Amino acid sequence: MELTSVFNPATTSFRIMLNQISDLITAANVGIMLFFSAVVAPTVFMVLPAEWSAVFVRKFFPRYFWFLGITSAIAAALHKLPLVQTTLGLCALVFFFSVLWLTPRINLARDNKATQTFNRLHFASVGLNLLLLAVMIWLLIRSVMAA
């Protein structure tokens, strides 16, 4: 097979390659989400004083959500299976919702010492993150099974 035919958007090889790149991005996002949830977050709150961990979390989360939103959108644009493409696009929208709407309200509730509101919004944020993690794992399984 010629190299030019592999990179021709009309070929099956090219579409398969795009799906695989999308799957790799999604797998990387799953790894990032698992690593943060299982390693980074518990370590930050166990090792750092509360005021330092709060500063770290406020700097980290916007970058985390932006990165996962942008890479999920890229993965959605690359994939050719409509179910995977649509679901990854929805995941990207939820990440953008988290950074643009949810995170500022969580920070405001913390600043205003509105404990109930903070707890409710934080619970929603953690729940969305876990839901997106589960959805991305399901998408990877679904995509690999379809290949």
6-15, 81-90, 94-103, 138-147 — which is least confidently predicted? 6-15
**Contact in structure between 64 and 2 (CB atoms under 8 Å):** no
pTM of the full structure? 0.90
| pLDDT tens column, 32-66 | 999 999 999 999 999 999 899 999 999 999 999 99
| pLDDT reported for residue 10 | 64
- One-letter amino acid at 72 equals S
Say if residue 1's pLDDT is above 80: no
| pLDDT reported for residue 14 | 87
- DSSP 8-state assignment for residue 113: T
DSSP string, 66-100: HHHHHHHHHHHHH---HHHHHHHHHHHHHHHHIII
